[in-house]
Amino acid sequence: MADRVVQQGHEVQGWLRVPQPFCSVNVIETDGSVFNESLTANDPDFLASSELLIVTLKAWQVSNAVKHLAGILPDTTPIVLVHNGMGTVEELRGVKQPLLLASTTQAARRDGNVIIHVAQGTTHIGPAKSYEGDYSYLAEVLQSVLPDVAWHNNIHSAIWRKLAVNCVINPLTALKGCKNGDLRDYTQEVAAICREVAAVMEREGIHTSAENLLFYVEQVIESTAENISSMLQDVRASGIQRSTTSPVFCSTAPAPTASPYRKTPAYLN
């Protein structure tokens, strides 16, 4: 996303875990065009005057990072959280800045130090909770950067759909040792997880069906067919399997009567 934001004339900086004055952004777009630039990084003065903070970390990394940056960021600057998994908003109750959630079907993969944008998609964005201010203008800003972007006054259905995708793709690819697209060969497992996540969603008041979730998950599997999931990358790098906030979050939700969904977290982890 940083490349698109720069190309639209916005000032952008990155924030690295290990502080450095610059960060390299190397992107190959879907049309084959190449973006290769060094951007400012870890500049507190830049952060203190920023009008928007976009956080694209893994869910378990978000809380500590945002709490640190929020101490520098203006109280009125919106923070957009773009990640798989849930539960981070609860961890950020003390943050003064407005929190927004985003879910995207834009597909990319990493090849060394290069990010390859492999498929266009839709980004859904909305407030994490009720705020006095109207932040729907951010959808227009982001639409000009990385279309398509849709604003939701209630973002939680979109976040739960992305949760379903994460509950399917990450653990199954890690267990099977395969690319996302190879999950086409595991239709029974994919459908079973969709049924279980749908049961949890209904219990949480999010109207859906297993069929709708399965259709959505299969679309993502197709658009990211050549990708290697983050969990499988972690497994290959460390030799051990990690759990994610997605199945863990589902495992802490109240169980619907006679629902077998609690089997999923144990199976996935």
List, by residue number, the catalytic residues. 162
Count CB atoms within 10 A of the CB of residue 252. 9
Report yes or no: 149 and 198 within 8 Å, Cβ to Cβ: no
Measured distance CA(251)–CA(73) in Å, rounded: 34
Structural element, H or E, at residue 125 = strand 123-127
Measured distance CA(186)–CA(241) in Å, rounded: 20
User: Which residue carries 């879910």 as its tokens?
Assistant: 103
- CB under 8 A, 24+ apart: contacts of 176-181: 177/232, 178/232, 179/225, 179/226, 179/227, 179/228, 180/220, 180/221, 180/224, 180/225, 180/226, 180/227, 180/228, 180/229, 181/221, 181/222, 181/224, 181/225, 181/226
Read off φ and ψ for residue 44, nearest 5 degrees: -60, -35
Read off φ and ψ for residue 243, nearest 5 degrees: -90, 160
